[in-house]
Amino acid sequence: MYDYKVSIHNYLDGACRAFASAHNVEQLAKKIGMRPAVLRCKLNPDQAHQLTLMELIEIVDLTEDPRILDGLLRQLNCQPSVPVNNATAENMQFCALTAAASVGVIAGEAVSAERMTAARRNQILDRASDAIRSLSLIVYSVENRFQSAPILAAAVDLVTTSATGLI
């Protein structure tokens, strides 16, 4: 049913490096009950140690930074993670603004003649993930609102199926 093809690019390694440079690994290691040197090694793709699934879950939960999880998903040619618990009515304006701003920044980067460095590439990918995440939350919220009114959903279904017969 699904075809998860592993990418030839090692996005997970890049995500681990970006995560390690964005966080205080020493403090994070103490919070999850791990020695800082061990966590540094696990976030370094050149080392033999690797994060376990439970450690990844704990790190993402604690930091609320989906970078490593998104790198894993990109490695499998999947879209970024979307925390559906953020799909609240109060968040929708923020999601719309974030998506629009992220797309604007990406458009600016697309026409820029600057040299493509690893840091710039990571920033563009982070912005793209933010835009996808925000748009996905908007879609999720609209679907929930629509499904919460079954009469409205049935009326729209009736109109759309009737309209297709008229064409």
* 70 and 110 share one domain: no
* 96 and 70 share one domain: no
Domain coverage including residue 37: 11-75
pLDDT of 1 above 50 = no
Q: Which amino acid is at 128?
A: A
* 89 and 69 share one domain: no
Would you place residue 158 in the very low, low, confident or very high pLDDT band (cuts 50, 70, 90)?
Answer: low
Count of the separate structural domains present in the chain: 2
* 160 and 101 share one domain: yes
pLDDT at 143: 80
Residue 136 domain flag: yes
pLDDT at 100: 93
pLDDT at 151: 66
* Assessment of whether the complete model's pTM goes beyond 0.75: no
Would you place residue 56 in the very low, low, confident or very high pLDDT band (cuts 50, 70, 90)?
Answer: very high
Would you place residue 92 in the very low, low, confident or very high pLDDT band (cuts 50, 70, 90)?
Answer: confident
Q: Hey, what's the torsion of the CAs at 156, 162, 164, 167, to 10 degrees?
A: -130
pLDDT of 2 above 60 = no
Q: Within its chain, how far is the Cα of 27 from the centroid?
A: 24
Using CA atoms, how far apart are residues 136 and 113, in angstroms rounded to an integer?
A: 30
